[in-house]
Amino acid sequence: MLKVYKKIFQTKNTKQFAFIGIISRFPQPIYQMAILFVSYHYTSSWIIPAALSSTVALSYALAIPFLASLVDKYGQSYVILRLTIVYLISITGIIGAFVFYLPYPFLFLFAATSGISQYYYGSLTRTRWNWLIKNPKLLHTAYAFEGAADDFVFILGPVIGVILATGPQPIISLIIIFFIAGIGNLLFWSLKSTEPPIIKIKAEIIEKNKTLAKPVITIHGASFCIAVACILGINFGLVDVVISAIYTNSGQASLSGFILAIGSISSLISGLLYGLIHINMPQTKRMLILTIAATLILANYIYLYNNIYLIPLIIFLSSFVIAPIFTCLNILMKDIVPDARLTQGFSWISSAVNLGIATGSLIAGITIDHISIKVSLIILVIIMILWNTISYPWAKTLKINQYL
Protein backbone atom coordinates (compact mmCIF):
# COMPACT_ATOMS: atom_id res chain seq x y z
CA MET A 1 0.00 0.00 0.00
CA LEU A 2 2.75 2.46 0.99
CA LYS A 3 4.54 1.92 -2.34
CA VAL A 4 1.44 2.90 -4.30
CA TYR A 5 0.89 6.08 -2.29
CA LYS A 6 4.60 6.89 -2.31
CA LYS A 7 4.43 7.28 -6.11
CA ILE A 8 2.08 10.26 -5.95
CA PHE A 9 4.50 12.14 -3.68
CA GLN A 10 7.45 11.73 -6.04
CA THR A 11 6.26 14.84 -7.88
CA LYS A 12 8.05 17.90 -6.53
CA ASN A 13 6.41 19.86 -3.68
CA THR A 14 3.29 17.68 -3.49
CA LYS A 15 4.05 16.79 0.13
CA GLN A 16 3.91 20.44 1.18
CA PHE A 17 0.48 21.32 -0.18
CA ALA A 18 -0.99 17.91 0.69
CA PHE A 19 -0.07 18.04 4.37
CA ILE A 20 -0.52 21.77 4.95
CA GLY A 21 -3.88 21.35 3.23
CA ILE A 22 -4.78 18.86 5.98
CA ILE A 23 -3.95 21.42 8.69
CA SER A 24 -6.05 24.05 6.92
CA ARG A 25 -9.06 21.71 6.95
CA PHE A 26 -9.06 21.20 10.73
CA PRO A 27 -11.07 24.32 11.72
CA GLN A 28 -14.14 23.04 9.85
CA PRO A 29 -14.80 19.79 11.81
CA ILE A 30 -13.71 21.35 15.10
CA TYR A 31 -16.09 24.26 14.50
CA GLN A 32 -18.87 21.88 13.45
CA MET A 33 -18.96 20.32 16.92
CA ALA A 34 -17.83 23.37 18.91
CA ILE A 35 -20.69 25.53 17.68
CA LEU A 36 -23.18 22.86 18.78
CA PHE A 37 -21.85 22.42 22.32
CA VAL A 38 -20.79 26.02 22.99
CA SER A 39 -24.25 27.29 21.99
CA TYR A 40 -25.94 24.48 23.95
CA HIS A 41 -23.87 25.56 26.97
CA TYR A 42 -25.21 29.11 26.63
CA THR A 43 -28.84 28.32 25.62
CA SER A 44 -29.68 24.85 27.10
CA SER A 45 -31.64 24.03 23.94
CA TRP A 46 -30.92 21.96 20.83
CA ILE A 47 -32.87 24.23 18.48
CA ILE A 48 -30.49 27.21 18.66
CA PRO A 49 -27.33 25.05 18.31
CA ALA A 50 -28.87 23.19 15.36
CA ALA A 51 -29.98 26.49 13.78
CA LEU A 52 -26.51 28.01 14.20
CA SER A 53 -24.89 24.90 12.74
CA SER A 54 -27.33 25.06 9.85
CA THR A 55 -26.57 28.75 9.33
CA VAL A 56 -22.85 28.05 9.06
CA ALA A 57 -23.41 25.15 6.67
CA LEU A 58 -26.02 26.95 4.55
CA SER A 59 -24.02 30.17 4.18
CA TYR A 60 -20.98 28.09 3.24
CA ALA A 61 -22.99 26.11 0.71
CA LEU A 62 -24.36 29.25 -0.95
CA ALA A 63 -21.01 31.08 -1.04
CA ILE A 64 -18.61 28.33 -2.09
CA PRO A 65 -19.54 28.11 -5.81
CA PHE A 66 -19.14 31.87 -6.17
CA LEU A 67 -15.82 31.83 -4.29
CA ALA A 68 -14.63 28.91 -6.42
CA SER A 69 -15.32 30.92 -9.57
CA LEU A 70 -13.12 33.68 -8.10
CA VAL A 71 -10.37 31.09 -7.47
CA ASP A 72 -10.55 29.93 -11.09
CA LYS A 73 -10.52 33.55 -12.26
CA TYR A 74 -7.91 35.13 -9.95
CA GLY A 75 -5.98 32.18 -8.48
CA GLN A 76 -5.91 30.37 -5.15
CA SER A 77 -3.54 32.66 -3.24
CA TYR A 78 -5.52 35.79 -4.15
CA VAL A 79 -8.73 34.42 -2.65
CA ILE A 80 -7.20 32.55 0.32
CA LEU A 81 -5.66 35.67 1.89
CA ARG A 82 -8.86 37.70 1.75
CA LEU A 83 -11.07 34.90 3.03
CA THR A 84 -8.73 34.19 5.93
CA ILE A 85 -9.04 37.78 7.14
CA VAL A 86 -12.85 37.64 7.00
CA TYR A 87 -12.91 34.24 8.73
CA LEU A 88 -10.71 35.38 11.63
CA ILE A 89 -12.85 38.49 12.14
CA SER A 90 -15.99 36.30 12.12
CA ILE A 91 -14.65 33.86 14.72
CA THR A 92 -13.63 36.81 16.90
CA GLY A 93 -17.15 38.19 16.53
CA ILE A 94 -18.89 34.95 17.49
CA ILE A 95 -16.60 34.56 20.53
CA GLY A 96 -17.57 38.08 21.62
CA ALA A 97 -21.27 37.37 21.03
CA PHE A 98 -21.16 34.35 23.37
CA VAL A 99 -18.95 35.94 26.05
CA PHE A 100 -20.98 39.14 26.27
CA TYR A 101 -24.37 37.43 25.79
CA LEU A 102 -25.25 39.53 22.78
CA PRO A 103 -28.74 39.08 21.22
CA TYR A 104 -29.19 36.08 18.93
CA PRO A 105 -29.07 38.13 15.69
CA PHE A 106 -25.38 38.84 16.35
CA LEU A 107 -24.68 35.14 16.79
CA PHE A 108 -26.39 34.31 13.51
CA LEU A 109 -24.67 37.18 11.69
CA PHE A 110 -21.19 36.02 12.66
CA ALA A 111 -22.15 32.38 12.10
CA ALA A 112 -23.16 33.31 8.54
CA THR A 113 -19.97 35.27 7.79
CA SER A 114 -17.84 32.48 9.26
CA GLY A 115 -19.60 30.02 6.97
CA ILE A 116 -19.12 32.23 3.93
CA SER A 117 -15.37 32.58 4.59
CA GLN A 118 -14.74 28.95 5.68
CA TYR A 119 -13.24 27.73 2.42
CA TYR A 120 -12.87 24.00 1.72
CA TYR A 121 -9.16 23.34 1.16
CA GLY A 122 -9.84 19.86 -0.19
CA SER A 123 -11.02 21.41 -3.47
CA LEU A 124 -7.80 23.44 -3.69
CA THR A 125 -5.54 20.44 -3.09
CA ARG A 126 -7.47 18.26 -5.55
CA THR A 127 -7.11 20.93 -8.21
CA ARG A 128 -3.35 20.98 -7.56
CA TRP A 129 -3.17 17.20 -7.93
CA ASN A 130 -5.07 17.40 -11.20
CA TRP A 131 -2.60 20.00 -12.52
CA LEU A 132 0.51 18.08 -11.46
CA ILE A 133 -0.45 14.43 -12.14
CA LYS A 134 -1.63 13.28 -15.57
CA ASN A 135 -1.58 9.49 -15.06
CA PRO A 136 -5.25 8.48 -14.44
CA LYS A 137 -4.37 5.63 -12.08
CA LEU A 138 -2.09 7.84 -9.98
CA LEU A 139 -4.74 10.56 -9.96
CA HIS A 140 -7.27 7.98 -8.68
CA THR A 141 -4.82 7.20 -5.86
CA ALA A 142 -4.25 10.91 -5.18
CA TYR A 143 -7.99 11.52 -4.88
CA ALA A 144 -8.28 8.51 -2.58
CA PHE A 145 -5.50 10.03 -0.45
CA GLU A 146 -7.44 13.29 -0.30
CA GLY A 147 -10.54 11.39 0.80
CA ALA A 148 -8.47 9.71 3.51
CA ALA A 149 -7.09 13.12 4.50
CA ASP A 150 -10.64 14.44 4.89
CA ASP A 151 -11.48 11.45 7.07
CA PHE A 152 -8.34 11.89 9.19
CA VAL A 153 -9.35 15.48 9.85
CA PHE A 154 -12.89 14.37 10.71
CA ILE A 155 -11.50 11.73 13.08
CA LEU A 156 -9.56 14.18 15.22
CA GLY A 157 -11.57 17.35 14.55
CA PRO A 158 -14.85 16.34 16.22
CA VAL A 159 -12.98 14.79 19.15
CA ILE A 160 -10.99 17.98 19.69
CA GLY A 161 -14.11 20.10 19.27
CA VAL A 162 -16.19 18.10 21.75
CA ILE A 163 -13.43 17.80 24.37
CA LEU A 164 -12.78 21.54 24.29
CA ALA A 165 -16.42 22.59 24.02
CA THR A 166 -17.64 20.35 26.87
CA GLY A 167 -14.83 21.38 29.24
CA PRO A 168 -14.99 24.01 31.99
CA GLN A 169 -14.40 26.82 29.44
CA PRO A 170 -16.23 25.84 26.20
CA ILE A 171 -15.27 29.11 24.47
CA ILE A 172 -11.64 27.89 24.31
CA SER A 173 -12.67 25.65 21.40
CA LEU A 174 -13.40 28.72 19.27
CA ILE A 175 -10.12 30.37 20.28
CA ILE A 176 -8.21 27.26 19.15
CA ILE A 177 -10.04 27.40 15.81
CA PHE A 178 -8.90 31.01 15.38
CA PHE A 179 -5.22 30.08 15.70
CA ILE A 180 -5.35 26.91 13.60
CA ALA A 181 -7.12 28.75 10.77
CA GLY A 182 -4.74 31.69 10.91
CA ILE A 183 -1.58 29.56 10.82
CA GLY A 184 -2.77 26.83 8.43
CA ASN A 185 -4.38 29.14 5.89
CA LEU A 186 -1.39 31.48 5.69
CA LEU A 187 1.01 28.55 5.27
CA PHE A 188 -1.11 27.24 2.39
CA TRP A 189 -1.25 30.74 0.89
CA SER A 190 2.56 30.80 0.80
CA LEU A 191 2.79 27.67 -1.41
CA LYS A 192 2.94 29.42 -4.77
CA SER A 193 5.06 26.84 -6.65
CA THR A 194 2.24 24.26 -6.91
CA GLU A 195 -0.60 26.73 -7.42
CA PRO A 196 -2.39 25.93 -10.69
CA PRO A 197 -2.12 28.65 -13.33
CA ILE A 198 -5.15 30.72 -14.25
CA ILE A 199 -6.63 29.26 -17.45
CA LYS A 200 -8.15 31.92 -19.69
CA ILE A 201 -10.36 30.55 -22.45
CA LYS A 202 -10.57 32.41 -25.72
CA ALA A 203 -13.98 33.50 -26.97
CA GLU A 204 -13.73 31.47 -30.16
CA ILE A 205 -13.08 28.28 -28.16
CA ILE A 206 -16.12 28.96 -25.99
CA GLU A 207 -18.14 29.47 -29.15
CA LYS A 208 -17.19 25.97 -30.31
CA ASN A 209 -17.74 24.34 -26.93
CA LYS A 210 -20.69 25.85 -25.06
CA THR A 211 -19.95 23.66 -22.01
CA LEU A 212 -17.03 25.95 -21.16
CA ALA A 213 -19.44 28.84 -20.56
CA LYS A 214 -22.32 27.00 -18.86
CA PRO A 215 -22.80 27.20 -15.07
CA VAL A 216 -21.25 24.08 -13.54
CA ILE A 217 -24.54 22.96 -11.99
CA THR A 218 -26.16 22.84 -15.46
CA ILE A 219 -23.42 20.72 -17.07
CA HIS A 220 -24.66 17.21 -17.91
CA GLY A 221 -23.75 14.86 -15.08
CA ALA A 222 -22.60 17.56 -12.64
CA SER A 223 -26.09 17.94 -11.18
CA PHE A 224 -26.13 14.21 -10.41
CA CYS A 225 -22.85 14.52 -8.46
CA ILE A 226 -24.20 17.53 -6.60
CA ALA A 227 -27.39 15.66 -5.65
CA VAL A 228 -25.41 12.69 -4.30
CA ALA A 229 -23.26 15.04 -2.20
CA CYS A 230 -26.38 16.78 -0.81
CA ILE A 231 -27.92 13.46 0.27
CA LEU A 232 -24.70 12.48 2.03
CA GLY A 233 -24.66 15.87 3.75
CA ILE A 234 -28.18 15.33 5.11
CA ASN A 235 -26.90 12.04 6.52
CA PHE A 236 -23.91 13.75 8.19
CA GLY A 237 -25.86 16.70 9.63
CA LEU A 238 -28.68 14.61 11.03
CA VAL A 239 -26.44 11.92 12.52
CA ASP A 240 -24.08 14.51 14.12
CA VAL A 241 -26.94 16.16 16.03
CA VAL A 242 -28.62 12.84 16.89
CA ILE A 243 -25.43 11.31 18.28
CA SER A 244 -24.67 14.49 20.23
CA ALA A 245 -28.19 14.43 21.71
CA ILE A 246 -28.11 10.69 22.53
CA TYR A 247 -24.85 10.89 24.45
CA THR A 248 -25.73 14.20 26.11
CA ASN A 249 -29.01 12.71 27.35
CA SER A 250 -27.12 9.71 28.71
CA GLY A 251 -24.76 12.01 30.64
CA GLN A 252 -21.78 11.22 28.40
CA ALA A 253 -21.64 14.27 26.10
CA SER A 254 -17.85 14.20 25.90
CA LEU A 255 -18.00 10.76 24.25
CA SER A 256 -19.98 11.96 21.22
CA GLY A 257 -16.90 13.30 19.45
CA PHE A 258 -15.14 9.94 19.87
CA ILE A 259 -18.21 8.09 18.61
CA LEU A 260 -18.42 10.26 15.49
CA ALA A 261 -14.68 9.79 14.99
CA ILE A 262 -15.30 6.05 14.63
CA GLY A 263 -17.15 6.79 11.41
CA SER A 264 -14.20 8.78 10.09
CA ILE A 265 -11.81 5.97 11.01
CA SER A 266 -13.97 3.54 9.07
CA SER A 267 -14.11 5.86 6.06
CA LEU A 268 -10.35 6.46 6.27
CA ILE A 269 -9.64 2.71 6.12
CA SER A 270 -12.01 2.11 3.23
CA GLY A 271 -10.69 5.16 1.38
CA LEU A 272 -7.08 4.00 1.54
CA LEU A 273 -8.05 0.51 0.40
CA TYR A 274 -10.20 1.89 -2.40
CA GLY A 275 -7.24 3.87 -3.70
CA LEU A 276 -5.51 0.57 -4.48
CA ILE A 277 -8.44 -0.88 -6.43
CA HIS A 278 -9.04 -0.32 -10.15
CA ILE A 279 -12.18 -2.03 -11.45
CA ASN A 280 -13.96 -1.71 -14.79
CA MET A 281 -17.32 -0.45 -13.53
CA PRO A 282 -19.07 2.90 -14.13
CA GLN A 283 -18.65 5.30 -11.23
CA THR A 284 -22.43 5.82 -11.05
CA LYS A 285 -23.05 2.07 -10.61
CA ARG A 286 -20.43 1.93 -7.87
CA MET A 287 -22.13 4.79 -6.02
CA LEU A 288 -25.56 3.19 -6.32
CA ILE A 289 -24.30 -0.07 -4.79
CA LEU A 290 -22.55 1.81 -1.98
CA THR A 291 -25.54 4.04 -1.10
CA ILE A 292 -27.90 1.04 -1.00
CA ALA A 293 -25.52 -0.70 1.40
CA ALA A 294 -25.37 2.42 3.58
CA THR A 295 -29.19 2.66 3.68
CA LEU A 296 -29.57 -0.95 4.82
CA ILE A 297 -27.11 -0.36 7.64
CA LEU A 298 -28.56 3.02 8.67
CA ALA A 299 -32.01 1.43 9.02
CA ASN A 300 -30.69 -0.32 12.14
CA TYR A 301 -30.50 3.04 13.91
CA ILE A 302 -34.29 3.05 14.20
CA TYR A 303 -34.24 0.01 16.51
CA LEU A 304 -30.86 0.45 18.20
CA TYR A 305 -30.59 4.23 18.67
CA ASN A 306 -31.02 3.91 22.45
CA ASN A 307 -28.26 1.31 22.73
CA ILE A 308 -25.13 3.42 23.23
CA TYR A 309 -22.94 0.31 22.97
CA LEU A 310 -24.13 -0.77 19.49
CA ILE A 311 -24.23 2.72 17.96
CA PRO A 312 -20.43 2.74 17.35
CA LEU A 313 -20.79 -0.49 15.33
CA ILE A 314 -23.55 0.98 13.15
CA ILE A 315 -21.49 4.13 12.59
CA PHE A 316 -18.42 2.11 11.63
CA LEU A 317 -20.31 -0.08 9.14
CA SER A 318 -22.38 2.71 7.55
CA SER A 319 -19.32 4.96 7.20
CA PHE A 320 -17.24 2.33 5.40
CA VAL A 321 -18.78 3.40 2.08
CA ILE A 322 -18.29 7.16 2.48
CA ALA A 323 -14.72 7.66 1.20
CA PRO A 324 -15.24 5.41 -1.86
CA ILE A 325 -18.38 7.37 -2.76
CA PHE A 326 -16.52 10.67 -2.57
CA THR A 327 -13.65 9.30 -4.64
CA CYS A 328 -16.20 8.33 -7.30
CA LEU A 329 -17.78 11.78 -7.09
CA ASN A 330 -14.49 13.60 -7.55
CA ILE A 331 -13.47 11.43 -10.51
CA LEU A 332 -16.88 11.97 -12.10
CA MET A 333 -16.64 15.73 -11.61
CA LYS A 334 -13.14 15.78 -13.06
CA ASP A 335 -14.37 13.97 -16.19
CA ILE A 336 -17.41 16.23 -16.53
CA VAL A 337 -16.08 19.73 -15.83
CA PRO A 338 -13.45 21.51 -18.01
CA ASP A 339 -10.09 22.12 -16.31
CA ALA A 340 -10.71 25.87 -16.37
CA ARG A 341 -13.75 25.31 -14.09
CA LEU A 342 -12.44 22.38 -12.03
CA THR A 343 -12.19 24.24 -8.73
CA GLN A 344 -15.84 25.14 -9.14
CA GLY A 345 -16.72 21.51 -9.84
CA PHE A 346 -15.01 20.23 -6.69
CA SER A 347 -16.43 23.13 -4.67
CA TRP A 348 -19.98 22.34 -5.77
CA ILE A 349 -19.57 18.91 -4.16
CA SER A 350 -18.49 20.55 -0.91
CA SER A 351 -21.27 23.12 -1.23
CA ALA A 352 -23.89 20.41 -1.69
CA VAL A 353 -22.57 18.45 1.30
CA ASN A 354 -22.90 21.54 3.49
CA LEU A 355 -26.35 22.32 2.16
CA GLY A 356 -27.29 18.78 3.14
CA ILE A 357 -25.66 19.21 6.57
CA ALA A 358 -27.69 22.38 7.14
CA THR A 359 -30.89 20.53 6.21
CA GLY A 360 -30.05 17.45 8.25
CA SER A 361 -29.06 19.47 11.34
CA LEU A 362 -32.27 21.47 11.22
CA ILE A 363 -34.42 18.35 10.78
CA ALA A 364 -32.69 16.72 13.74
CA GLY A 365 -32.89 19.77 15.99
CA ILE A 366 -36.62 20.28 15.41
CA THR A 367 -37.65 16.61 15.61
CA ILE A 368 -35.52 15.86 18.69
CA ASP A 369 -36.89 18.83 20.66
CA HIS A 370 -40.54 18.46 19.55
CA ILE A 371 -41.04 14.76 18.72
CA SER A 372 -38.27 12.21 19.31
CA ILE A 373 -34.84 11.00 18.27
CA LYS A 374 -36.41 7.93 16.66
CA VAL A 375 -38.52 10.04 14.29
CA SER A 376 -35.46 11.95 13.08
CA LEU A 377 -33.77 8.64 12.25
CA ILE A 378 -36.88 7.36 10.44
CA ILE A 379 -36.82 10.53 8.32
CA LEU A 380 -33.16 9.87 7.45
CA VAL A 381 -33.86 6.33 6.29
CA ILE A 382 -36.86 7.47 4.22
CA ILE A 383 -34.71 10.11 2.51
CA MET A 384 -32.05 7.50 1.69
CA ILE A 385 -34.65 5.07 0.29
CA LEU A 386 -36.17 7.81 -1.88
CA TRP A 387 -32.73 8.77 -3.17
CA ASN A 388 -31.87 5.19 -4.11
CA THR A 389 -35.17 4.97 -5.98
CA ILE A 390 -34.54 8.20 -7.89
CA SER A 391 -30.81 7.80 -8.51
CA TYR A 392 -31.07 4.58 -10.53
CA PRO A 393 -33.14 5.98 -13.45
CA TRP A 394 -31.24 9.28 -13.21
CA ALA A 395 -27.87 7.52 -13.51
CA LYS A 396 -29.17 5.64 -16.56
CA THR A 397 -29.53 8.97 -18.39
CA LEU A 398 -25.84 9.79 -17.94
CA LYS A 399 -23.14 8.86 -20.41
CA ILE A 400 -21.96 5.91 -18.33
CA ASN A 401 -19.15 4.85 -20.66
CA GLN A 402 -17.51 8.23 -20.20
CA TYR A 403 -16.81 7.40 -16.59
CA LEU A 404 -15.18 3.97 -16.75
Domain-embedded: residue 144: yes
Domain-embedded: residue 115: yes
Integer Cα distance of 64 and 322 in angstroms:
22
Residues with Cβ within 8 Å of residue 65, at least 6 apart in sequence: 216, 217, 344, 347, 348, 351
Domains: count for the chain? 1
Per-residue pLDDT tens digits for 23-48: 998 998 888 788 888 888 887 777 78
Give residue 323's pLDDT. 78
Domain-embedded: residue 399: yes
Q: Is 293 exposed, middle or buried (0-12, 13-18, 19+ CB in 10 A)?
A: middle
Per-residue pLDDT tens digits for 72-120: 788 888 888 999 999 999 999 999 998 888 888 899 999 999 988 988 7
Domain-embedded: residue 2: no
Q: Which of 243, 274, 269, 265 is nearest to 256 (CA)?
A: 243
Of the chain, the percentage scoring pLDDT greater than 90 comes to 10
- What average pLDDT score do residues 152-171 get? 81
Domain-embedded: residue 60: yes
Domain that holds residue 170: 16-196+204-403
Give residue 398's pLDDT. 66
pTM of the model: 0.71
Domain-embedded: residue 10: no
Domain-embedded: residue 352: yes
Instruction: Report the CATH number at residue 300.
Output: 1.20.1250.20
Residues with Cβ within 8 Å of residue 397, at least 6 apart in sequence: none
Domain-embedded: residue 278: yes
